[in-house]
Amino acid sequence: MTNSPLHVFPSLDELSVAVADAFCRSAAEAISQRGTFRVALSGGSTPKRLYELLAKRELDWDHIEWYWGDERNVPHDHDESNFRMVSEALLDHFPSAQANAFSVPVDTNDPVRSADRYEAKLKDVFHGQAFPQWDLALLGMGDDAHTASLFPDTAAISENERWFVANYVPKFEAYRYTLTAPAINSARQRWFLIAGANKRDALARVWQSDPNRTEADQLVAAQVERYPSQLIQSPTWFVTQDAMPG
């Protein structure tokens, strides 16, 4: 079981409203303290409702910067593109949000170069930092316990120096783009959004051991290969009731 903050909701809709409220508070606080709110976005289906809700909120659009924590190796207008999902749900409604959106420059023929270019962009923005200090990293989790595009038994899981990489995922026979674990753990806040009964088993596995709290380092290393969401340190969990283990 996790020792990190855990919020449980009856439905994805209620979860999304609560996260939207927390997002607005967090953005206002960061902007008042540091002038900018920099967020790494998650993809997939779970956060879409949150993004739609944010589009209806009073946010200081000029001072929020949007980045992608992971992306699929498809053109931006493709159905599976995380950029497309976020744009349609949120960013397309606000010209200043579009101006502050830093998408992965996907070149499907050269994913390694695309990842290098995005990493260089991030290093430019977070100049001088060992890893990018996002104000917030939003995260999802697949039913295989992947987060961002850190999939089980893939090379990016053990990457400790790079910020953003192209990660070959054998089960898709395709590359994904992803922030690395240290580039997620450097965020001031890390929020997991998890919904649906199909995530229950994976969540149980992820909560079985936590790299922050166990002394069995070798065992944990092996677990992390299988359940990469364990790589994320001290997250806040927003979970629907049907995704809660046992």
Ligand X SMILES: O=C1O[C@H](COP(=O)(O)O)[C@@H](O)[C@H](O)[C@H]1O
Residue ranges in contact with ligand X by CB under 6 A = 42-46, 70, 82, 140-142, 148-149
Which of 38, 199 has the CB closer to ligand X? Answer: 199
Pair 97, 66: CB distance under 8 Å: yes
Pairing of strands 174-179, 70-72: antiparallel
Q: Is 27 left (phi over 0), alpha (psi -120 to 50) or beta?
A: alpha
* Comparison of 45 and 108: residue with beta carbon closer to ligand X: 45
Cα–Cα distance measured from residue 201 to residue 181, given in angstroms and rounded to the nearest whole number: 22
Q: Which two tokens stand for residue 165?
A: 């990489």
CB of 70 to ligand X, least distance (A): 5
- CB of residue 146 vs ligand X: minimum separation in angstroms? 6
Is 63 or 151 the residue whose CB approaches ligand X more closely? 151
Phi, psi for residue 9 in degrees, rounded to 5: -130, 150
Q: Output DSSP code: residue 165.
A: E
Could you give the count of Cα atoms lying within 13 Å of 218 in the half-sphere of its Cβ? 0
Q: Smallest distance from the beta carbon of 51 to ligand X, in angstroms?
A: 12
Residue number with CB closer to ligand X (142 or 235) = 142
Closest CB 71 distance from ligand X, rounded Å: 7
Query: How far apart are CB 202 and ligand X at their closest, in Å?
Result: 10
Q: Is 107 exposed, middle or buried (0-12, 13-18, 19+ CB in 10 A)?
A: middle
Nearer of residues 60 and 242 to ligand X, judged by Cβ? 242
